[in-house]
Amino acid sequence: MTTSRSRTENPRLHALPHYQALLDGTDWASLETPSGPGTGEALPTALARILDPDPVTGSAAATDALRKVTHQNTIYEATVPVALYVAAILHHPAIAAGHFSHDADNPPHRPTLVKLLEWLSATAYDADDECVAHGERHCGENFLGDYEEMRAFRDLRPAIFSAVHSLLGHDNAEVRHAAFVAAIPLAEHPVLTAHRAELVGHARRLLATSTDRYNRDRVLDAMKAWGHDTSDLQNADDIAARERYVRLNAERDSWWATDGTGGYSEDPPF
């Protein structure tokens, strides 16, 4: 976390800048990344490669570029323009075309679109209301005021949501689910609360069809936070997972309650 001033101007609410304008107009070399202050010079080239017309090359480029700004759930200076860029290219033809068909001559690969949505989702969860509350408990009430990068990302949630929202009806289920899970933390922004009723419908459809543990946990948590009874939406695996999480949390709390020793010879059960 840093307190230095962001070098990317916020776009108008709900509007995303053109991806090329972001590449050309951002002072990338001055931005902080996990490697330290002023280490973002490689980002524009890495981000541009995501739009390679070959889907395998684009997918590998996405992994490489996003790795450069991802470390320990931290929002960096460079995170904000990268998030805007990722949102701005979600509907680019190079991302949308040819990424979901497989044939004998081309082995299956993870669609770049899904990777981008999952990164936006993870980043949004790293800046969600729960993270802010946790930061305020441990760092003081001015946590968000001091954490300018997180605050800047949170201000941009409506613009990012606008790009993610249109993918909720995508033909590919993996994309639909990734888009919905990304939409959940983005929709915490006050101007997006009106979308909750619509998102509940998507939540029910995901829970009726998906077996992905991570997605189901995120959606069930969201439904509960929105005040919905989820008892009729959970299956046996959901209940077993919840019981396991409760047990692990209790063991963790017990470990910390004994000053981090508790007679254990191993690491705490995180």
Q: Hey, what are 172's tokens?
A: 């590919």
pTM: 0.83
pLDDT at position 99: 53
pLDDT at position 240: 84
Rounded to an integer, what is the distance from CA 43 to the centroid of its chain? 19
Residue stretches of the chain with pLDDT short of 50: 1-13, 102-107, 260-265, 268-270
pLDDT at position 182: 97
Question: What is the Cβ-side half-sphere exposure of residue 234, based on CA atoms within 13 angstroms?
Answer: 18
Q: Hey, what are 206's tokens?
A: 């995901």
Cβ partners under 8 Å of residue 167, min gap 6: 90, 113, 117, 175, 176, 179
pLDDT at position 10: 38
